[in-house]
A and B are shown apart, each in its own frame.
Chain A
Amino acid sequence: HTACDESKILEQTNPNAPAASTFWQTADDAKKGIMGAYAPFTDIWYYTRFEVFVSDYRDDLVNGYGTSERTAAGQFAGVPESNAAFWVWAAMFKGVSRANDVLANVPDIDMDQSAKDNILGEAYFIRAFNYFNLVNTWLNVPLIIVPAGEILNTREVPQADPAVVWEQIEKDLLEAQKLLPSDWSETDKGRVTNMGATAMLGKAYLYQKKYDEAKAAFEKILDPASGYGLEADYRDNFREASENNKESLFEIQLLADGNQGWCADCASHGTGAAFHQDLAPQSYTGQDGMRINQWALDLFLDETTINGEIDPRAFTTLFWNTTETTTYQGDVLQSATYEGTSFQDAYGATDQRIFASKHLDFEQGYSAASIGWHFSGNNLRLIRYADILLMYAEAEFELNGSTQVALDAINEVRARVDMPAFTTLTMQDIRDERVKELSLERSRYYDLLRWGLVKSRIADNSSIKSESGGTGAYQPGREYMAIPSIELDNSDVFTQNPGYNN
């Protein structure tokens, strides 16, 4: 028996799936690899469901029912053992890990240079995008920029200084901006573009209060040459028929194709939205659900359109007890939910609770939220042109105060929904406009966080979380989520975030 025979017996390669050692050979492999890096966005643990528990469920609009471990973070009672926290964290790191695999392997593939550049740009974006979420949600996270297999002693990997993470985010987005195309072919629509990367870069600057850099980045998008702009109808941002429109800079591509599996990365894994269960009005959901705090509705009702009617965005965003209507884009808007049910029909004439309406897709014909999981294919827009305008206005305001530049930006957003133009601006106007325009679009909590308002708006205001026991669990530091306990168990150097060590 020769050595050759021996190696044949010992070196068995797995025929059930492509071996890591033989992958990354062709342009096709590169594309499959980058698709794999996008894939976690549609995990049930990420944007198709669980992400909402670490973003909107923690903000000052959402008053979650019950005290499940999913809603616990919303009342500052999230614990390191909480599955919800751990799952979202894990899904984000899946994106990081796969982006790292692409960045490590694709450069060596012999393929068309621009196609290669585009894919590398996507990987930089995906890594930065996930780290943006991670650093804003957990603050003290490990910074992993090489394939996981290259890290031999995982117990020694430390949490990075958040400043270093921010630095990496900027660096990655600058790379992405350089490498990404301005547009994709029809079949590739939905993949991130260079303006998508620019939008994230501007947002990253804004979050770090680097207003000059933020403004400069946003200006590239506001330049008509970018091809981006507001949709005429506000509602088009939440309709399946108008996915990947000119307002959308980055959106999660969702598809309801009958698969309802919760298993990420399996053949039957659902890729439709499944957060409806958590956003739906009470009794339309099989989950705990939530209601919206009164102040949000009051904010909408504080002013009227140029026609003296309720802000049309209120009807898109909320479901409440009103018989008033607004005529918008030729339609009569009214408060209604699944199957066109009015609030009074659903809850009686006296119930004054407010529920969410945005993202519930009842216009698309979904009859109730309790029919199952992953049933909506409506894409989830995460950065859109209106947000760019508002962030731009904010950066300008922070730099120069209530200038015409800032006014023009915010008024463009207001004009689309028939709201009267501002003539002067305060920071509160900008903040309020963001609530009206962007509520339930996964940014409110992070806005409060970067403005330093989490404690005063939420923690000190127990009624915001009255449906799940108030905010008594708050401790300084709990603005950020707890580091999942499994990470602490598996590490010799990780430390728990402040506020979680008893």
Chain B
Amino acid sequence: LLVNCFLLTFLSAKDTSGQPMALEEVLLDLELRDADLVDFFEEANKQSPFTFSYFEKEIESKKIGNVSFKETSMEEALREVSRRANVQFRRVNDAIYVSRKKSSMSAVIDEQNSSELQDVTVSGQVLDEMGEGLPGASVLIKGTSKGTTTDINGQFSLVTPEDAVLIVSFLGYLTQEITLAGRSELNVQMELNAEQLDELVVVGYGTQKKEDMTGSVGLVEGDDIAKFPTVNAQQAIQGRMAGVRVETQGGSPGANAIVTIRGSGTLSDNGPLYVIDGMLTGSMSSLNPSDIKSVTVLKDASASAIYGSRAANGVIIVTTKKGRSGEVGIEIDASYGIQKAVKTLDWANARQYADIRNTAIDNDNARSADVPGFVPTPYSSANDSMFDPSIDSDIQGESLRTAPMSNLNMRIFGGSDNATYSISGNHMKQDGIVKESSYERFNIRANSTFTRGKFKFEETIGITRTINNPNNYFNKERDLIPTVPMYDADGNFTAERTDGADIGIGNITNSLGLASLEDRTVTRNTLIGNVAGSYEFIEGLTYRLNVGIEAYADNNYTFTPTFRFNDTELGFKQFAELKEQNTNYLSSLIENTLTYKKNIGKSEFEVLAGYSNQNGNQRMLGVVARDFPNNEIRVASAAADRAEMPSYDNTWGLISYFGRLNYVYDSRYMVTASIRRDASSFFKNHPWGTFPSFAVGWNLSNERFMESVNFVSNVKLRASYGEIGSNNAVPYVADPVYNVHSSYITGSDQSRQPGYANTQATNELLTWETSVITDVGLEFSVLRDKLSITMDYFNKESRDVIADYEPSPWTGKSGTVKRNMATIVNQGFEFMANYAEQVGDFNFNVNANFTYLDNEVTALGLSGPIPGGGYTSNGGSASLTDVGQPIGAFYGLKVVGIYQTDEAAVADNRPNAGAGDFIFEDVDGVPGITDEDRQYLGSPIPNFEYGINLSADYKGFDLTLFFNGVSGNKILDGTRYRGFFDTEGNYLAEATDGWSPTNTDSDLPRNSLIDPANNRQMSDFYLSSGAYFRLRNAQIGYALPTAWVNKLGVSKVRIYGTAQNLFTLTKYTGYYPEVGRGGRDRNSSSQKIFNAGVDESAYPTPRTFMMGVQVSF
């Protein structure tokens, strides 16, 4: 919220009646050291009847140094002060008005007006729009400079000529003129002046008055973000506004989040465009959340089309905190906390594990008993004769821990009228609740602005270093089973029974051992920033040049030493292996914009025209090296086998022309039209795309007919239509090249000859994805503006969506080719409400939002249904994206019961099934279970998402509770596959409750190793409701009384405690219902979007408790 702020300050509201005295008659006797003007006024006011009146802005921090007046007349004192502070004084009756010195005038003008008419004393109260006293309002006698201000209760009292006209004014309210007409008492009801409240919202290439906006935007203030110690800026906007979905990718330290605005309109993982202080980029993960001043999300075409070909998935504009004129401010915020797993899974212990295996073998033997010559399978000795009760490995328990987390922020800011600055530093360190995982971030951000006349210069720069150490082994397939020890006698990791017992499994590893032995870091050093200069040629016409840069250097390093847990394929590594990749990225942006603002009568115009270009280059060099002299040498050059050297060099460029017209008539009718033309190097033959948008708004509350309507205010209707694009491709995608590895052999010596071939299919016709968005919105306030509501309906049809397509093999090309094929429709309704209330010293605010969303693929073109969502390495897809369904919809059989007899299964034409196996719903009418019996089982995309933010403060205490939730979605719990069916890992303890002739009312199938009935195939057995409601954040803070802290030379000290995920209501069976887009990549394009809602070993989300202190100087 930006308020154009100037305050006319009277030093005090006091009775100004009484006989005026001449300036010479008043004597001062004061001594001040290193004083400024205000100090002088305070002292002079005490010793005289005069009130000093001034615009704070005009005289702020005017120093006058040491002054010493002994029996000095007021006039003389004022002259001296005038000389020192370059101000002038004008005395009218008891008021002395202070202003900046204009050379033509004398320093002190004494205008003692004696009134001709008889003076009367008028008293009264000024009331705000809610009928409460308005303190600090100005009450002036028209035609004079005489007046007063209201006290804390809005009361005033004034001596005035009996026929006077009073001018009552207060910032943000309409100024009123009241004719006394002999009254000596009056109450003045003030009305809000919305125009003056000018809430400015950051939009593309500028700001706009919120009142005049025609587009749909979402806004989060930095204060709300900084409040909670979120690691990632994306997570910080989760639940804060309607229409914005943030999918956290599990609870791993530093885990990224995928942001989807108004539903996925793409068949890729392409996210929104981020504009960070004017630099266009693909992510905001390098930002320190505390540095954010505001986040604006442009949701509809009217708001986002100005970003053209990159806006179809929405635009997120991030503005970082800037300095301000005034004293140097210092803010420190330090917090420390601990994290714990919200939940642990109930895995089988050794005895339960052995029982499940043995039962499974019994069941399998019984099934085949009547086959001639059948030899029953014996138990594995480790589960039977050699069961060792002293071995009971709990890999989950050993892997999880209570982990610390710390965050330190410092910011220094300040400036003068002509220059401001802000410099901040951050260090964040989070250890994972799974051992051997951690994340650390260092940030420095600096920005400043300089103004000289019509010239303005600003720059911002952010430097970030992140060090990520992920544990990718926790909770995976083929991990340690409880009947195998985890540590050997020396305390080293193992996965082997030394007693030679048959454990019944061919291939197991030790995930914690692996994570512990492996050495890995993903380090990224990022620099992002911009410099901009603007010049106002003539009034309203401003040219701006913005040059932005983003650079990062990645080092992705993994070293796996030789180790031996056992002799299976996964259990040992003969040769140490190093995988290391270095990537350098540089993107630069040049933007030229010209804006012209002009008001003609009641019409306000703003025209923007711009040209920009941006390019980026990414160059990678990597190495895969094996066989090192020893495990301590971890540099590629020492390896005996430098096996691979993956590398690439990619460059892209984008050129854009854009323009926008905003027109507002009489604050009632608004029109916005924008157009952008982009050309991208991705699309060789169709580089240019044009993206228009048009929007209208009608501010009903400013219509005459609404004047008498009191219950509702600020009513605005808006509608927009536009087309925006997505350059959802990669460099050279339309650029045929020759493969250099198509060698053949010739010669008596049979050697490889270099051969080149055009092997990869390219689609030279590839072009933009286009989203056509229609939006209708309604905004209004009720209850005297305490409650404000915004509602939007939107329809987003994304056309020419790029999907991977396998070309006809007769073309001789291989691989997939990107084509503009699919159509996806997202429709939804968004609701946001804010309620603010103040009762005495108690303030509270409730902010709530919800989104209803319907995502549907309406055409797929050539590619056909797209399978995805692998939940095990043993094959099987959980999702199928097809026409008429949401993206990534779950697809499989439906379990309708458990066979109680073998005969029942035979009767269903399922010869391989029997008692204890799943009954699958047979929907195709063909006897038996076929592929045609698979059906859609639910969507991974919630159709309803909501967030509620409650904040309250009372005196020094403050409390914030932030809830959010989703519903309507399903989650696939991969642990249910592993826990019941996978024969190469531990079972869930629940598997002991599998169906058996003596346990016939179980929902779980009988234990089996061979699973002849294929109970394991994709079905709704793995699906849970994905709905949750949680207390995402709770914070309680206390600001120490100012009087105390001032003694310490500090202006503010606040201590606080925060809890994240204090409670979560969910029916989800896995660790936590925030699973992101997990799963294995089963489809050729490897797009995670088809794996949404698939929890295949997602990192558990922790519960976090933190304590912190904020100090401001």
Instruction: Kindly state the separation between the CA atoms of A375 and B731 in the bound complex, as whole angstroms.
Output: 38
CA–CA, A52 and B732, complex, Å: 37
Q: Does B864 contact A (CB under 8 A)?
A: yes
Question: Known contacts A13-B735, A16-B649: does B809 contact A35 (CB below 8 Å)?
Answer: no
Cβ contacts under 8 Å, B649 to chain A: 15-16
B602 contacts partner chain A, Cβ-Cβ < 8 Å? no
Q: How far is the CB of A276 from chain B (nearest CB, A)?
A: 18
Rounded to whole Å, the gap between the CB of B795 and the closest CB of chain A is: 31
Contacts of B807 in A (CB 8 A): 154, 490
Determine the residue in chain B with the shortest Cβ distance to A188. Answer: B746
The answer on a CB contact under 8 Å between B759 and A255 is no
A484 CA / B812 CA spacing, docked (Å): 14
Binds A, one of B513-521, B563-571, B749-757, B931-939: B749-757
| Cα(A266)–Cα(B644), bound, Å | 12
Q: How far is the CA of A39 from the CA of B741 in the complex (A)?
A: 9
Across-interface contacts of B812 in A (CB, < 8 A) = 90, 93-98, 100, 144, 148
Partner of B813, one of A15, A31, A41, A97: A97
| A16 B746 Cβ-Cβ under 8 A | no
Docked CA distance A265–B753 (Å): 13
Measured in the bound complex, the distance between the Cα atoms of B745 and A377 in whole Å is 10
**In the complex, what distance in Å separates the CA atom of A255 from the CA atom of B752?**
8
Quick check: is B615 within 8 A (CB to CB) of the other chain?
Answer: yes
Which of A18-26, A165-173, A389-397, A439-447 is the interface stretch?
Answer: A18-26
Return chain B residues, CB-CB under 8 Å to A254: 745
As a 0/1 sequence over residues 235 to 254 of chain B, the CB contacts with chain A under 8 angstroms (1 = contact) are 00000000000000000000
Query: Considering the complex, which residues of chain B in the window 750-770 have a beta carbon less than 8 Å from any beta carbon of chain A?
Result: 750-759, 764
Q: Kindly state whether residue A190 has any CB partner on chain B within 8 Å.
A: yes
**Once bound together, how far apart are the Cα atoms of A86 and B611, in whole Å?**
50
B808 & A19 in contact (Cβ 8 Å cutoff): no
**Closest CB in chain B relative to A185 CB, distance in Å:** 8
- Do the beta carbons of B809 and A9 come within 8 Å of each other? no
A11 at the binding interface (Cβ < 8 Å):
yes
Q: How far is it, in angstroms, between the C-alpha of A12 and the C-alpha of B650 when the chains are bound? A: 9
Known: A1-B611, A13-B735, A97-B812. A36 touches B757 (CB 8 A): yes
Residues of B within 8 A of A468 (CB): none
Contact A33-B757, Cβ < 8 Å, known A14-B737, A141-B810, A265-B739:
yes
CB atoms of A148 and B811 under 8 A apart: yes
- Output the nearest chain B residue to A487 by Cβ-Cβ distance: B808
Q: Is the CB of A149 within 8 A of B736?
A: yes
Give the contacting residue for A9; candidates B613, B744, B749, B759; CB below 8 A: B613
How many angstroms between the C-alpha atoms of A15 and B731 in the bound complex? 11
A367 surroundings in chain B (CB, below 8 A): none
Decide yes or no whether B806 CB sits under 8 A from chain A.
yes
Interface string of A67-87 (1 = CB under 8 A from B): 000000000000000000010
B655 close to A32 (CB less than 8 A):
no
- Kindly identify, within residues 165 to 220 of chain A, every residue whose CB is under 8 Å from any CB belonging to chain B: 184, 186-191
B745 lies within 8 A of A157 (CB): no
Q: What distance in Å separates the Cβ of A349 from its nearest Cβ neighbour in chain B?
A: 24
Contacting residue for B744 out of A18, A35, A187, A484, CB 8 A:
A35
In whole angstroms, how far apart are the Cα atoms of A187 and B679 in the complex?
A: 49
Complex A-B, nearest 10 residue pairs according to Cβ-Cβ distance, in ascending order: A97-B812, A35-B755, A36-B757, A9-B653, A90-B809, A20-B736, A36-B755, A38-B744, A36-B742, A17-B737
B553 CB-CB contact with A under 8 Å: no
Contacts of A490 in B (CB 8 A): 806-808, 862
Q: A42-B745, A255-B751 are in contact. Are A32 and B809 (CB under 8 A)?
A: no
| Given A14-B735, A14-B737, A489-B864; 9 other pairs, CB 8 A cutoff | A12-B651, A17-B737, A18-B737, A19-B735, A20-B738, A184-B746, A253-B744, A265-B742, A489-B862
Query: Complex formed: what's the CA distance from A31 to B756 in Å?
Result: 9
Task: Report chain B residues within 8 Å CB of A148.
Answer: 811-813
B748 at the interface (CB under 8 A from A): yes
Asked whether B741 lies within 8 Å of A142 as measured between CB atoms, the reply is no
B741 touches which of A89, A149, A267, A489 (Cβ 8 Å): A267
Question: Which residue on chain A has the smallest CB distance to residue B648?
Answer: A16
Which of A41, A93, A265 makes the CB contact (< 8 A) with B809?
A: A93
A187 & B747 in contact (Cβ 8 Å cutoff): yes
Whole-angstrom distance from the CB of A134 to the nearest CB of chain B? 9
Chain B nearest CB: distance from A25 CB in Å?
12
**Which residue in chain A gives the minimum CB-CB distance to B679?**
A10
Q: In the complex, A323→B748 CA distance in Å?
A: 38
Q: How many residues of A contact B (CB 8 A)?
A: 76
| Cβ–Cβ < 8 Å partners of A23 in chain B | 738, 756
- A271 to B798: give the CA distance in the assembly, Å: 46
Cβ contact within 8 Å between A154 and B811: yes
The docked-state distance in angstroms from the alpha carbon of A90 to that of B747 is 27
Contacts of A164 on B, CB cut-off 8 Å?
A: none
Known contacts A33-B757, A101-B758, A255-B752; A10 and B738 CB within 8 A of each other: no
Query: Does chain B have a CB within 8 A of A466?
Result: no
- Contact B654 A18, beta carbon cutoff 8 Å: no
Counting chain A CB atoms within 10 Å of each CB, which of B611, B652, B813 scores highest? B813
User: What 1/0 flags go to A338-370 for Cβ under 8 Å of B?
Assistant: 000000000000000000000000000000000
- Residue A37 CB within 8 A of the other chain: yes
When chains A and B are docked, how far (Å) is the Cα of A500 from the Cα of B746? 41
B811 contact set on A, CB distance < 8 A: 93, 97, 144, 148, 151, 154
- Cα(A253)–Cα(B747), bound, Å: 9
Nearest A residue (CB) for B645 = A267
Query: Is residue B687 within 8 Å, beta carbon to beta carbon, of the partner chain?
Result: yes
User: Could you jot down 24 A-B contacts, CB within 8 Å?
Assistant: A5-B613, A6-B679, A9-B615, A9-B654, A10-B687, A14-B732, A17-B739, A20-B736, A21-B736, A33-B757, A35-B743, A39-B742, A39-B757, A90-B809, A98-B758, A98-B812, A101-B757, A186-B748, A187-B749, A190-B745, A190-B747, A244-B748, A486-B806, A490-B862
- Flag if B743 contacts A19 (CB, 8 Å): no
Cβ of A462 within 8 Å of any chain B Cβ, yes or no, is no
A243 part of interface (Cβ distance < 8 Å): yes
CB distance from B853 to the nearest CB of A (A): 32
Q: Mark B636-675, 1 if CB is under 8 A from A, else 0.
A: 0000000000001111111100000000000000000000
Whether, in the assembled complex, A246 has its beta carbon less than 8 Å from a beta carbon of chain B, the answer is: no
Closest chain B CB from A193 CB (angstroms): 12
Query: In the docked arrangement, what's the CA distance between A157 and B751, Å?
Result: 38
* B778-810 vs A, Cβ < 8 Å mask (1 yes, 0 no): 000000000000000000000000000011111
* With contact pairs A97-B811, A98-B757 given, residues A12 and B731 touching in the complex (Cβ less than 8 Å): yes
Interface flag for B814 (CB, 8 Å): yes
B322 to chain A, nearest CB (A): 30
Q: Which of B650, B750, B754, B814 contacts A32 (CB 8 A)?
A: B754
Contacts of A184 in B (CB 8 A): 746
Give the CA-CA distance A101 to B732 in the complex, in Å: 20
Separation of A467 and B731 alpha carbons in the complex (Å):
51
B680: CB under 8 A from chain A? Answer: yes
A309 at interface by CB-CB < 8 Å: no
Q: Which B residues lie within 8 Å of A86 (CB)?
A: 809
CB distance from B651 to the nearest CB of A (A): 5
Residues in chain A near residue B754, CB distance under 8 A: 32, 35
> Nearest residue in A to B755 (C-beta to C-beta)?
A35
B740 at the interface (CB under 8 A from A): yes
Q: Chain A's nearest CB lies how many Å from the CB of B755?
A: 3
Q: How far is the CB of A33 from chain B (nearest CB, A)?
A: 6
B841-867 at interface with A (beta carbon < 8 Å): 862, 864
- Chain A's nearest CB lies how many Å from the CB of B698? 40
Query: Which residues of chain A are near B739, meaning CB under 8 Å?
Result: 17, 36, 265
Bound-complex Cα distance A96 to B757 (A): 12
A191 and chain B: residue at smallest CB distance: B746
